[in-house]
Structure 1
Amino acid sequence: MKKMLINYKDLVELGFKPNQARTIIRNAKILMAKKGYPFYNGKRVGSVPAYAVTQIIGLSSSEKSEGDNK
């Protein structure tokens, strides 16, 4: 089963710097709040859906794996 939520530690493990990872999570929270999920306005919320992160960074997991093979 794929992981549905991502936090900043997951992004750091993927190779992002800590500040970049926090910025991505922050932007994903803003995106989710604009989509009508007020839960993501909370300061203590640190996990966001994976699809929100892929929209922020502009890369899906399938595109990443295809790029690794070339």
Structure 2
Amino acid sequence: MDAKEFQLNDVVEMKKPHPCGENRWKIIRLGMDIRIKCLGCDHSVLLPRREFTKKLKKVLEQVEE
């Protein structure tokens, strides 16, 4: 399985959409846990890194450094 590259402020697509209907999330915190914010309703979710990498479908927009 290939490792997906992601960093702070990237916009990602998860396997399942949020109940509001949006499937685009912004990474707002990185560490052992990853906090992502729904771009539809601004709800944020804190996930363990392992769970996040399982649920991540693809990185839509990468932030340039």
User: TM-score w.r.t. structure 1 length?
Assistant: 0.26
More helix by share: 1
Higher Rg of the two aligned structures: 1
More strand by share: 2
